[in-house]
């Protein structure tokens, strides 16, 4: 019987890119070591939302789905800021703004308008769409490409404008 030398080396995953969930967990541990309460609280809430989604799906989430959860968390905090401003609670505004800054560190850079239009045009050409009735086919191709980098509402508006002209 022949044994491969260092069989465990093949399974270590050192050459693999760290998943977003693993990064969040590692950063949470570091925040706990560094006594950063705001970062610790924010990351715990995000990881709880990820865990809840995994329980509902009954499997681990891909990075794209986790990005979606992070975006929802940012949107939630933007709504909190709006409501806090209406109530005159600047302390809550500052706290939510700080949490948004922490979360945005995990989100990819947003697409510029020109980049979004280029991706929309490429998806339209790939789908062979010529009328607004074919918008669904274009969006099906486009959404995975822009996930986490552009708002779906902005994308659908750009697709609609391109197909109408």
pLDDT digits (tens, 9 = 90+) for 30-39: 999 999 999 9
How far, in Å, CA of 51 to CA of 60, rounded? 9
pLDDT over 70, % of the chain? 90
User: How far is residue 58's CA from residue 61's CA, in Å, rounded to a whole number?
Assistant: 9
CATH 1.10.10.410 fits 113-164, yes or no: yes
Determine the pLDDT at residue 129.
87
Q: What pLDDT shows up at residue 146?
A: 86
State the average pLDDT over residues 48-76: 92
Q: Which pLDDT band, with edges at 50, 70 and 90, does 9 fall under?
A: very low
In the chain, list all ranges with CATH 1.10.10.410: 113-164
Residue 10 DSSP one-character state: G
- Residue range 20-104, CATH number: 1.10.1510.10
- Give the containing element (helix H, strand E) for 39: helix 37-57
Q: Are 74 and 107 in contact (CB under 8 A)?
A: yes
Domain with CATH 1.10.1510.10 in the chain: 20-104
pTM for the whole structure: 0.69
Is the model more confident about 25 or about 130?
25
pLDDT band at 16 (very low <50, low <70, confident <90, very high): low
Per-residue pLDDT band for 55 (boundaries 50, 70, 90) equals very high
Q: In the predicted model, what is the mean pLDDT of residues 86-94?
A: 92
Using 50, 70 and 90 to split pLDDT, how confident is the model at 51?
A: very high
Tell me the C-alpha distance between 138 and 41, whole Å.
39
Cβ-based neighbour number of residue 117 at 10 Å = 14
> What's the N-to-C CA distance of the chain in angstroms?
70
């Amino acid at each position: 019987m022949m044994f491969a030398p260092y069989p465990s080396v093949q399974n270590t995953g050192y050459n693999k890119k760290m998943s977003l969930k693993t990064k969040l967990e590692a950063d949470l541990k570091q925040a706990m070591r560094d006594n950063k309460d705001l970062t610790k609280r924010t990351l715990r809430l995000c990881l709880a939302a990820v865990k809840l989604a995994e329980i509902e799906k009954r499997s681990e989430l891909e990075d794209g789905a986790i990005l979606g959860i992070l975006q929802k968390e940012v949107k939630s905090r933007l709504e909190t800021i709006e409501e806090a401003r209406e109530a005159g609670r600047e302390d809550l505004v500052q706290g939510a703004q700080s949490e948004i800054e922490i979360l945005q560190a995990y989100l990819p850079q947003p697409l510029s308008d020109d980049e979004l239009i280029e991706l929309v045009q490429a998806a339209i050409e790939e789908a062979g769409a010529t009328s607004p009735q074919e918008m669904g086919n274009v969006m099906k191709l486009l959404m995975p490409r822009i996930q986490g980098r552009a708002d779906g509402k902005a994308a659908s508006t750009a697709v609609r404008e391109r197909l109408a002209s």
